[in-house]
Amino acid sequence: MSDLHDLTALEQGALVRRREVSPLELVDHYLERADRLDTVGAFVTLTPDLARARAAALADVPEDAGPLHGVPTAVKDLNLTAGVRTTFGSAAFADFVPEVSDGVVLALEAAGTVSLGKTSTPEVGSPCYTEPEGLPPAVTPWDRTRMAGGSSGGAAAAVAAGLVPFAQGSDGGGSIRIPASCCGLVGLKPTRGRISGFPMHGDPVGLATAGPIARTVRDAAAMLDVLAGRRVGDPSWAPPPSESFLASCDREPRRLRVARFSEPVLADSPLDPECRRAWEDASHLLERLGHDVVDVEVPLPREAVPVFETCWAVLTALTEVPPERESLLRPLTRWLAERGRAVSGPDFGLAIGAMRRYAADALAALAPYDAVLTPTLASPPLPVGAIRDDADPAADFARQKEFSPYTSAWNVTGMPAVSLPLHQTPDGLPVGVMLAARPAEEELLLGLAAQVEVAAPWSDRRPPGW
């Protein structure tokens, strides 16, 4: 018989509904693993007492329980969680305990999931690596000397190491898909407006959204069903799907037109041969599945990069840090915030307008295609510390762009995008490939991703220490 952590989140939920295992048994199983096996820097804060109390309260499973009722998960340390320390990955907020939970946490609770605690994130979720000050770095369990990516690095490390079956991340420039690629997982950035930013609505640009990190496409779809939906007061929202996102995984996609490109968007990065091989192999797989794969030009011009950087810097500057604690911020955060504060209000408005025009042009160029295929990253996961440079934040930022030159394009356009763990290097490092779809077409994207998973399954892969 399989161990509980060998099962998918949906399989665990089915056991709970059949009353073959209790939520408390699942929670105890994962808490024991987290306590014993978290050598990957996954958790910042574990909440065992809260988790066990909640699991006990969920023991009486209602007849209409959802597919994830009683299943353990975890919340990224950027998300407000009432009564639970939330540090935003920063020593400046080391003692902050919110009085309210945000919409993501409330949605997970309403679905009957049980959070084991808060997963590690870099300071204010900015870098594409997760190396928070004074804490262990988040590393990929496939090679614990290499990064888990960021900024949802702790969440991905937790799922990949079998410490939770699925976890929530957030993505403003690739922060779900980057760690998914580094850790051999499915990472989905939903379309803009799919998931509410309640109650802070803190991103006036529209780059960031929450989303799922999971081992299978179906688990990711089930989590998206939980997270999706508008709340009163949302400034904008995506149209609801015609059916559940989970159901879309069971619908065979029609013959699709898939655009592809491998030229980096953000920087002149050399593409690692293994990442190119993953992208080429995925192209051939899509063709064997009956889809038309067409080479296209990069849909965003290089002139869009400084506009994106202006918006990114201003968003960093919007983080409210008490003046007496600003000295605790990392050099990269201070450098970005200084750049952001140097942007005038009118210039920020012009940058948002310019970025929307670049996005509109890209959407028009890609409109004839049902999906877009690119590498997820320019290289397999790098050694810990390979990007971080506290002495030279500008060099740090430049290396981040070189490592992840593809992901932020879909934050600019608002398109849904998913990284799939289709490839491994000869020495066992995971390499993702990325598929994107038109705005609000997660159903098509998930149907295609599920078809790919059936054709080239990855669920039998287990990292060392599993």
Q: Which residues are catalytic?
A: 76, 151, 175
CA dist., res. 365 & res. 219, Å (int): 32
Q: How many CB atoms lie within 10 A of CB 290?
A: 12
Tell which residue, 316, 374, 307, has the closest CA to residue 340: 316
What whole-number distance in Å separates Cα of residue 63 and Cα of residue 132? 43
Residue type, 32: E
Structure tokens of 213? 């990190």
Q: How long is the chain?
A: 466
d(C-alpha 6, C-alpha 302), whole Å: 44
Q: Is the Cβ–Cβ distance between 248 and 254 less than 8 Å? A: no
Q: Are 399 and 388 in contact (CB under 8 A)?
A: no
Q: Name, in order, each residue with C-beta under 8 angstroms of 81's C-beta and a sequence gap of 6 or more.
A: 75, 98, 101, 102, 105, 115, 118
* Three-state secondary structure call for residue 271: coil
Distance CA 397, CA 451 (A): 36
Query: 387: helix, coil or strand?
Result: coil
3-state SS class at 80: coil
**Closest C-alpha among 174, 221, 165, 214 to residue 194:** 221
Radius of gyration of the chain (CA): 20
Phi-psi region at 240: left, alpha or beta (left = phi > 0; alpha = psi -120 to 50): beta
Q: Which residues contact 49 (CB under 8 A, 6 or more apart)?
A: none
